[in-house]
Structure 1
Amino acid sequence: MKLTVEISSYPLADDYLTPIKDFIDQLNQYPSILVLTNTLSTQLFGEYDDVMHALQACIKWSYEKYGKVIFVCKFLHGDLRP
């Protein structure tokens, strides 16, 4: 099953750009998902299990490295890439 996720990251830190960029870099380590980034959010496209595995691992990594980070996600059934 295909999945589209839109995710935004809001690190609770003065230097908020570094954790965001690092989170996106971590997502890009997963070749089975497509990662598209714009100024408002990052979109992930791929098979459900692949996308969810990448999200779980990258969110955990972000919490362990940077502590308090808010993630806002939208999950949509299907591949809705532009």
Structure 2
Amino acid sequence: MQLSIEISKYPLTAEYIEPIVGFIAELNREPGLIVVTNTMSTQVFGEYDTVMAALQRCIKWSFERYGKVVFVVKFIHGDLRP
């Protein structure tokens, strides 16, 4: 089953750019994902289990590395690449 997500990260710090860029870089390291970034959010496309495992790993990595951040995620069934 294919999954599309849209994710936004809001670091709770004045130095917010590096935590966002770091998270996107971690997502891009995951095999089997298509990652599309724009100025408002990042979209991720792939097999459901692959996307969910990548999210679990990358969000945990982000919390451990950067501390308090807020993630907002939309999950959409199917491959809705632009």
Q: Shorter-normalised TM-score: what interval?
A: over 0.9
1 CA distance for matches of 2:14 and 2:34? Answer: 29
Spell out, residue by residue over 1:29-78, the C-alpha distance to the aligned partner (whole angstroms, 9 max, x if none): 01200000000000000000000000000000000000000000000000
RMSD of the alignment, in Å?
A: 0.4
Which residue matches 1:19? 19
TM-score normalised by structure 2 residue count: 0.99
Q: After TM superposition, which residue ranges in structure 1, 4 or more long, deviate above 4 angstroms? A: none
TM-score normalised by structure 1 residue count: 0.99
2 CA distance for matches of 1:39 and 1:80? Answer: 19
How high is the sequence identity, in percent, across the aligned residues? 65
Mark the runs of 5 or more structure 2 residues left unpaired by the alignment: none
1 CA distance for matches of 2:20 and 2:78? Answer: 26
Q: How does 1:25-36 map to 2 (within 5 A)?
A: 25-36=25-36
Which residue matches 2:2? 2
Mark the runs of 5 or more structure 1 residues left unpaired by the alignment: none
Question: How many residues are paired up?
Answer: 82
1 CA distance for matches of 2:53 and 2:35? Answer: 14
